[in-house]
A = this chain, B = another copy of it.
Amino acid sequence: MKRYRGYLIDLDGTLFRGTELIPGALSFIEKLAGANIPFLYLTNNSSRPPEQVAEKLRGFGFPAEPDQVYTSALATAQYLKEEMDSPSVFVIGEEGLKRAIREAGICINEEQPEAVVVGIDRQFTYEKMKRACLAIRNGATLIGTNADRALPTEEGLLPGSGSLSIGIAAASGVEPLFIGKPEPIIMKYALEKLGTSPEETLVVGDNLETDILAGIRGGMDTLLVFSGITTHEMANKSRIRATYYLDSLRDWSI
């Protein structure tokens, strides 16, 4: 097996499920840390700032600093700054997204925004949807942190950020631009932050449609672990092929 010099590692379904640690995940991360191999925790979840994500990871026993966490919220803020020259934005989302945008020095403007940014928002209302639509009809660009239609939780599959974006897009007559996995945008920024080339970086995750596809599109090798959303049957049927498949990260040699 090839030796990789950098790792981009998914969280939910890969290292933990909700509040439950996935067996083998801790020893995998400890091996990387022990060997001084750089890695990032890479998540489509825009709801929490990196500090809170790192805290949650440390609660499971993972070594994790905020600077090792990269989220779709951070990638969205970076995209707004670098590619769109920091437009004023109307944000539908939670603290992780709002803080990422504010900390990138981007102006939040509810009245006449140049962009509408949509992440998961459990306080979503018709009123927010309406403001978004009027802004988009008035020329604002629609950006979604990630296209995930459903969010796996202990209550079941709940509406994901992508479903909010799809509803707003339908009402506004546009298509959203998505930033998170499987889009190449978040992978480009994550690689820049990690400091390794695509050829020497491995993407690790439990989701073929997001993690693995993002890796493939970014020219990286990929490792699918069957600890989350993907079953063996789904993997057999899918046209998306990972480089490696494992039942547990315990069995991975770095």
Contacts and interface: CB of A to CB of B under 8 A. Distances in A.
Instruction: Tell which of A121, A157, A167 has the most Cβ of chain B within 10 Å.
Output: A167
A163 B167 contact: yes
Interface string A95-128: 0000000000000000000000000011111110
B170 A126 contact: no
A160 interface: yes
Contacts of A158: 130, 133-134, 171
A34 interface: no
A130 B125 CA distance: 12
Copies of this chain: 2
A134 B149 contact: no
Interface in A116-153: 121-127, 129-130, 133-134, 137, 149-150
Interface in A23-68: none
Contact of A173 (B149, B155, B166): B149
A215 interface: no
Question: Which 5 A-B pairs give the minimum distances between C-beta atoms?
Answer: A167-B167, A163-B171, A159-B171, A124-B126, A163-B170
Given A130-B158, A163-B167, A164-B167, 6 more contacts: A130-B155, A133-B157, A137-B156, A149-B171, A150-B171, A167-B167
